[in-house]
């Protein structure tokens, strides 16, 4: 997944790719979110901090500048690092 240098750049690319909603989210340090799913597709870029994302296929850690995609209905869990995280999120309903 392409890394973007700003929220403006991330937003422009996501809108070009058909995503409907773009937002910035802040996550608290050491926050754990148990297994859940969303009713939308999500493209995420970590702008700051760190998150461990757990899917049925395993766990992967993402840091600032890295990103991931989660299709709607995909069960996953999230565990945020000691400094929390800031995400840029594009949602496709």
- At 13-65, the pLDDT tens digits run 999 999 999 999 999 999 999 999 999 999 999 999 999 999 999 999 999 99
Q: Which residue has the tokens 């240098």?
A: 5
Span 5-16, average pLDDT: 94
Set out the domains of the chain in order of their start, with CATH numbers. 7-92 (2.60.120.10)
Tell me if 51 sits within 8 A of 74, measured CB to CB: no
pTM for this one?
Answer: 0.91
Residue 4's pLDDT band (boundaries 50, 70, 90)?
confident
């Amino acid at each position: 997944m392409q890394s973007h240098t700003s929220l403006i750049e991330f937003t422009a690319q996501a809108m070009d790719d058909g995503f409907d909603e773009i937002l910035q989210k802040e996550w608290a340090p050491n926050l754990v979110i148990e297994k859940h799913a969303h009713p939308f597709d999500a493209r995420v870029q970590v702008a700051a901090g760190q998150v461990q994302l757990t899917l049925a296929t395993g766990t992967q850690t993402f840091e600032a500048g890295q990103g991931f995609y989660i299709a709607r209905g995909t069960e996953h869990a999230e565990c945020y690092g000691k400094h929390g995280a800031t995400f840029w999120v594009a949602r496709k309903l």
